[in-house]
Amino acid sequence: MSIVVVGISHHSSSVAFRERFSFAESEIDEALRQLTDSGLVQESVLLSTCNRVELYVSTDLPATEALHALKQFLIENRKYTESVDDEIYGFTDPLSVQHLFRVASGLDSLVLGETEILGQLKKAYHTAKEMGFTGRQLNKIFQKAFYVSKHIRSNTGIQRGSTSVGSVAVELADKIFDGLKGRRVMVIGAGDTSEKTARSLLSRGASEVAVTNRSHDRAKELADHLNGRAVVFQEWEKEFEDLDIVISSTSAPTYVLDRARVERLVRPRKARPLLLIDIAVPRDIDPEINELENVYVYNIDHLQSIAQDHLSQRQKEISSCESFIKSKSTEILKSLNPVGNTNDGGTVFERDRKEA
């Protein structure tokens, strides 16, 4: 039995491609059920975040057959009819296990060492486990991944600097406005990413953070935690004229801000600049808004340049992390395959993509 991962991420594709493959929480049960019923896998976990969609499975199929079958499953499940080149990648063990450990530790993230991915991975695993889609193989490997992540985060400097997508978004805002002191901010969405973003904004000197969400109770709860102000979702447009920065991170299936709406809302602002940061997948903000005068739109892909700065600062820590990951992946695979059937090389399914 082999451990295989197939997926897409910010490394392999744009946000426009990723949003076509994202899964809502309500879709995960049915997707894993369909995958199990297909007979392709014995165990499975589906991870879907703003930066990646990945299937982790245990399968009896030969490596190449499993990789192509799982790629096809993703394409058909998401009803994607256009051509796919290297956007979808895949690995078999030991590379698949090393990849999981790297993801859990934040080494594969847009922002090196960020912490949100660990919580997202734990949630994906526990969801699959509660639904009955995991067994001995994935249970042991995911538990080892959580151990590896804790060790790396506790014993290296991999988390120094901004450690979340939200933090990087705030760093971008800080650079554009040459400081956030006195800036008025609205956060659309009241999830974990939104909360971290709001806290970062306040720490940089923002004068006020308003929070709006379709669930006003959730918006009020977050606003209370931040000493901010909750705004009824149906009334947030009234705030628009006074805002400097809008950061949106909802799970809405369509644009929260489309061009026609924003074009109407910015007229009373005259020439005052407005920064819109979209950290949602699917995107919350229509990219065509960037064509409007004095309005600047940045989506999650634009955060890559700031993330690269963090990468260079933390490069020295990476080699020790990679060595630890390799040793622990070998250890767990030997415990699952005591007769010595572990593949020494692993199969890589995306051209020119390598895992350390």
- Catalytic residue numbers, as ranges: 50
Query: What CA–CA distance (Å, rounded) separates 250 from 36?
Result: 30
Comparing C-alpha atoms, which of 316, 306, 347, 62 is closest to residue 169?
306
Q: Where are the alpha helices (DSSP H) in the chain?
A: 15-21, 25-37, 63-77, 95-105, 116-130, 136-155, 165-177, 192-203, 216-225, 259-266, 304-336
Tokens of 98: 């090393």
Helix (H, G, I), strand (E, B) or coil at 92: strand
User: 22 near 282, Cβ under 8 Å?
Assistant: yes
User: 210 near 188, Cβ under 8 Å?
Assistant: no
Burial class (CB in 10 A: 0-12, 13-18, 19+), 151: middle
Helix axes 216-225, 192-203, angle to 10 degrees: 30
Q: Where are the alpha helices (DSSP H) in 254-303?
A: 259-266
Query: What CA–CA distance (Å, rounded) separates 341 from 73?
Result: 27
